[in-house]
A and B are shown apart, each in its own frame.
Chain A
């Protein structure tokens, strides 16, 4: 079984965000980079499928040359090889990204049985690159998958909704987009990291298109400091908290 996973390099922002002076990006001088949790689950799912059924796992990303870092760290958990479509570092719009990724997939010798995506990217969250690619590649697509298995050339998937689960199936070849919680992604082992250094990352250049969804500027969402009332330190503060809980009718 040949699996492809699409992932995106994003800054690992946890606390407060700072913008660049031109207000077009997040200031990343002091940030590390990673991929979205959804995409970590996608890679783990790919590794597990290849462990069970044999075959290959290819990683594909469109991004700056530094995105090789994210490919290497995911190669370290067990992917076979990776392809980097190198840009000048600007983020591309969803249509441009999808078109370039489709071209890259068509240029591959391998005909992938399953292509796995994150449900949405951590930073831009456009909710669409995978669906556009499903149309361009004429593949069925199941999105927002929280559990899946492959049997008899069918991928069968569950989606979690408010009341429970919805069940979907698609014949292979197919596209699936997955959510955090699908599995617990493993950490790369030391031998895994060593092996990843020797694995192939094919780098190809791509020309940017004129964006149709054009980012103009970014702004921080207003967040008001509630100015927490500090009730005290340690267990001594518990009586004050009990009073508060009584007042708000918590018991």
Chain B
């Protein structure tokens, strides 16, 4: 049996968890899902659709919202009781965090961000390193496998299964388990309504833009196309743009319809954040820039000339 941690935020399921359920079905027909917090019980139907037969709901008066260490404790008690062959979760910040707590409680290994899992003795996994640029083949030496599923390695597939059967349980928590939890939330500040994640068009600038002022031209083009501005890490660490606009491994991962990369060389950590864009256009003075390998179209030239010319040409064409 495979136990899958299904993550939710105040009852709303994290869609990445459906990928974890799909990945679990490759390992066993017998799938149990678990949600932490009584407000997660509403996922009964959807986890059933994705192949879980039983949904365990860990309820406790002290778990009123996301409480990662308590999740780890609850999972460890459930594992003790059910003896699954593996515990899986989505390779998301929360999935990785809660399973790391489980692994720490049990003092056994955990393999994060796996694209392939084979149960055995030892277990074998393929896992992402270097923002997915390297794939590690690893053995996991423990009876129980604890692993998170690399987000985009598995497409979620429903089997239209019936609603899962509800199984309530109350974990026995220690006071230390509930010290760290979400105390409050605030909504993000979005400028002009378009955020990096939702934008259909991103005009992104790198070191080649040369300074904070240079971004005015990129802003103008982005606004004209109904999009927003992104940037590379050199730009944020130079203080030219806020970190919220950084695209890449340690910034935001985006997949707009159109990504225009101006003055960006294409370091793998930047590519990791934008390679899934539908159309990629590059403006770069260097015909050898690595980013060209990922681009659909390119103009070789100085962005300070090309971008203003592009903006006025689009304006004309729109009239």
- Residues in A neighbouring B184, C-beta threshold 8 A: 166-167
**CB of A195 within 8 A of chain B?**
no
In the complex, A167→B182 CA distance in Å? 6
Please give the residue numbers on chain A whose beta carbons come within 8 Å of chain B beta carbons, in ascending order.
Answer: 13-17, 26, 36-38, 93-95, 119-120, 122-128, 131-132, 134-136, 138, 140-144, 159-160, 162-171, 179-181, 184-185, 211-221, 223, 225-226, 228-235, 237-239, 241-242, 244-246, 248-251
Name the one of B181, B244, B250, B297 contacting A38, with C-beta atoms under 8 angstroms. Answer: B250
Cβ contacts B265-297/A at 8 Å (1 or 0 each): 111110000010011111000010010111111
From known contacts A230-B298, A251-B314, infer whether A214 and B104 are also in contact, taking CB-CB under 8 Å. no
B237 touches A185 (CB 8 A): yes
B182 and A166 contacting across the interface, CB-CB below 8 Å: yes
Q: Which residues of A contact B224 (CB under 8 A)?
A: 251
Chain A facing B: main interface SS: mixed
Give the contacts of B80-120 with A (CB-CB under 8 A): 93, 96-97, 100-101, 103-105, 107-113
Q: Flag if B104 contacts A135 (CB, 8 Å).
A: yes
Q: Kindly list chain B residues whose C-beta atoms are within 8 Å of the C-beta of A95.
A: 107, 109
Residues of A near B243 (CB, < 8 A) are: 180-181
CB distance from A147 to the nearest CB of B (A): 10
Query: Which residues in A have their C-beta under 8 angstroms from that of B78?
Result: none
List residues 58-98 of chain B with CB under 8 A from any CB of chain A. Answer: 66, 68-69, 93, 96-97
Contact of A213 among B109, B132, B251, B309 (CB under 8 A): B109
A248 touches B142 (CB 8 A): no
Residues of B contacting A239 with CB < 8 Å? 313
List A contacts of B30 (CB < 8 A). Answer: none
Contacts of B257 in A (CB 8 A): 248-250
CB of A234 within 8 A of CB of B305, answer yes
Shortest Cβ distance from A220 into chain B, in angstroms? 6
**Given the interface contacts A16-B290, A140-B179, does A212 sit within 8 Å of B313 by beta carbon?**
no
Q: Are B187 and A171 in contact (CB under 8 A)?
A: no
Contact B201 A250 (CB under 8 A): yes
B298 and A235 within 8 A (CB) = no
A17 to B130, CA, bound (A): 10
Q: Is B300 located at the chain interface by the 8 A CB criterion?
A: yes
Chain A residues with Cβ below 8 Å from B179 are 140, 170-171
Is B301's CB under 8 angstroms from A242's CB?
no
Do the beta carbons of B101 and A131 come within 8 Å of each other? yes
Q: Give me 17 A-to-B residue pairs in the complex whose CB atoms sit less than 8 angstroms apart, sorted by A's number.
A: A15-B290, A125-B112, A127-B148, A143-B97, A144-B93, A159-B93, A160-B244, A165-B186, A167-B186, A215-B137, A221-B128, A226-B280, A228-B295, A234-B302, A235-B306, A242-B317, A250-B225
Query: For window 164-179 of chain B, which residues contact chain A by CB distance below 8 Å?
Result: 176, 179
B312 to nearest A CB, angstroms? 9
The answer to whether B188 has its CB under 8 Å from any CB of chain A is yes
CB contact between A17 and one of B186, B268, B305 (< 8 Å): that residue:
B268
Known: A132-B103, A143-B97, A250-B225. A181 touches B236 (CB 8 A): yes
Query: Given the known A-B contacts A94-B109, A226-B295, A241-B297, are A168 and B180 also in contact in the complex, defined by CB atoms under 8 Å?
Result: yes
Residues from chain A with a CB closer than 8 A to the CB of B188 are 160, 163-165
Give bound CA distance, A17 to B185, whole Å.
Answer: 40
Residues on B with C-beta less than 8 A from A163 are 185, 187-188
User: How long is the Cα–Cα vector from A160 to B195 in the complex, in angstroms?
Assistant: 14
Enumerate chain B residues within 8 angstroms of A165, measured Cβ to Cβ: 185-188
In the complex, the answer to whether A168 meets B182 with C-beta atoms within 8 Å is yes
B197 in contact with A162 (CB, 8 Å): yes
Contact assessment for B309 and A238 in the assembled complex, using a CB-CB cutoff below 8 Å: yes
**B93 contact set on A, CB distance < 8 A:** 119, 143-144, 159
Measured in the bound complex, the distance between the Cα atoms of B9 and A166 in whole Å is: 11
Cβ contact within 8 Å between A216 and B138: yes
Contact A167 B295, beta carbon cutoff 8 Å: no
Which of A13, A171, A181 is the one whose CB lies under 8 Å from B246?
A181
The 8 Å CB contact of A237, one of B128, B183, B290, B301, is B301
Task: Report the Cα distance A159→B94, complex, angstroms.
Answer: 11
Are A170 and B100 neighbours in the complex by a CB distance under 8 Å?
Answer: no
Establish whether residues B97 and A180, one from each chain, have CB atoms under 8 Å apart when the complex forms.
no
A218 lies within 8 A of B103 (CB): no
CB distance from A244 to the nearest CB of B (A): 6
B246 contacts across to A, CB distance below 8 A: 180-181
B134 contacts A219, C-beta separation under 8 Å: yes
Q: 8 tightest CB-CB pairs across the interface, nearest first?
A: A181-B243, A180-B250, A234-B301, A164-B188, A228-B295, A127-B96, A235-B309, A164-B187
B233:A93 contact, CB within 8 angstroms: no
CB distance from A154 to the nearest CB of B (A): 11
Whether A218 contacts B137 in the complex (CB less than 8 A), given A135-B104, A166-B185, A181-B236, comes out as: yes
Contact indicator per residue, chain B 219-254, by CB within 8 Å of chain A (1) or not (0):
000001110000001001101000110100011000
Residue of A nearest to B135 (CB): A219
Residues in A neighbouring B141, C-beta threshold 8 A: 211-214
User: Which residue of A122, A131, A184, A244 contacts B97 across the interface (Cβ within 8 Å)?
Assistant: A131
